[in-house]
């Protein structure tokens, strides 16, 4: 048993809508005889929390506690048996041994080639202008008390957004201060508290969070909203979602 992130369900809040059972790619959730959401087996839950985004009552949350380790192979086999091969291909870090059908990585890491848009005109490309106006930008490194945050328009962006969105600097970053983070790969302990301190200390003019469409990225949006609540500051969160094809959704 190890301490890890896992879904916790408040049965009193669960209304039995079943949306979480379809949102969970690993098949970790189902409705029991009383019409309440339950964990089928803890080893099927990857702790990423994609189900949180669809729950209308707030019955689900991610907690950190002792649990058996997430077993991607077991989750893959479970979904393959109950939902079929196509659904099994979306299992987070799924592995079915040496089979050619084995799939590695969460839905956001599937290998895709995105066709390049045809270039307009035959002239030489002109380098875009950087709109970055401060350093550092990684959430682990920034100070909530940095003077450049005061009275600023703040953009909190998932790491991949700047690479997916070709116009990131002009369309999202221009005129804003920047903090970047990855809710999947970073050690996120303390992130909510640090973001709350940034919001609390700096009288921000606006707050924007930019994430990718991949399920694990929604965790950054949740952290930002938790930080706003913790800060006690009334400020709207403008969410921008970017597809892996580089389009704003």
* Average pLDDT rounded to a whole number, residues 171-195: 92
More confident residue, 113 or 63: 63
**Is residue 60 predicted with pLDDT exceeding 80?**
yes
pLDDT band at residue 46 using 50, 70 and 90 as cut-offs: confident
**In this model, does residue 206 exceed pLDDT 70?**
yes
Q: Return the CATH fold of 147-242.
A: Dna Topoisomerase Vi A Subunit; Chain: A, domain 2 (3.40.1360)
Q: What share of the chain is helix, strand, coil (3-state, %, to 5)?
A: 30, 20, 50
Q: Where in the chain is the domain with CATH 3.40.1360?
A: 147-242
Show Cβ contacts of residue 214 under 8 Å, excluding neighbours closer than 6 positions: 106, 107, 108, 244
Domain at 2-106: CATH code: 3.30.70.20
Mean pLDDT in residue range 161-182: 95
pTM value?
0.62
Within the chain, all domains assigned CATH 3.30.70.20 are found at: 2-106
């Amino acid at each position: 048993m190890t301490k890890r992130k896992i879904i916790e369900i408040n049965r009193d809040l669960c209304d039995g809508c079943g949306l979480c059972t379809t949102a969970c790619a690993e098949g970790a959730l189902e409705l029991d005889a009383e019409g309440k959401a339950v964990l089928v087996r803890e080893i099927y839950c990857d702790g990423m929390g994609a189900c949180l985004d669809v729950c209308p009552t707030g019955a689900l949350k991610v907690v950190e506690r002792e649990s058996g380790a997430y077993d991607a192979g077991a989750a893959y086999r479970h979904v393959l048996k109950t939902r079929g091969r196509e659904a099994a291909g979306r299992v987070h870090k799924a592995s079915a041994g040496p089979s050619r059908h084995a799939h590695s990585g969460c839905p956001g890491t599937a290998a895709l080639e995105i066709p390049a848009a045809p270039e307009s005109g035959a002239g030489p490309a002109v380098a875009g202008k950087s709109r970055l106006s401060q350093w550092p930008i990684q959430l682990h490194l920034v100070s909530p008390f940095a003077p450049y945050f005061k009275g600023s328009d703040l953009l909190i962006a998932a790491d991949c957004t700047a690479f997916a969105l070709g116009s990131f600097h002009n369309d999202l970053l221009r005129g804003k201060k920047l903090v970047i983070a990855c809710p999947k790969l970073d050690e996120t302990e303390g992130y909510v508290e640090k973001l709350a301190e940034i919001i609390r200390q700096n009288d921000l003019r606006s707050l924007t969070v930019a994430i990718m469409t991949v399920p694990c990225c929604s965790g950054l949006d949740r952290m930002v909203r938790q930080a706003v609540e913790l800060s006690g500051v009334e400020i709207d969160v403008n969410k921008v979602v970017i597809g892996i094809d580089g389009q704003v959704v």
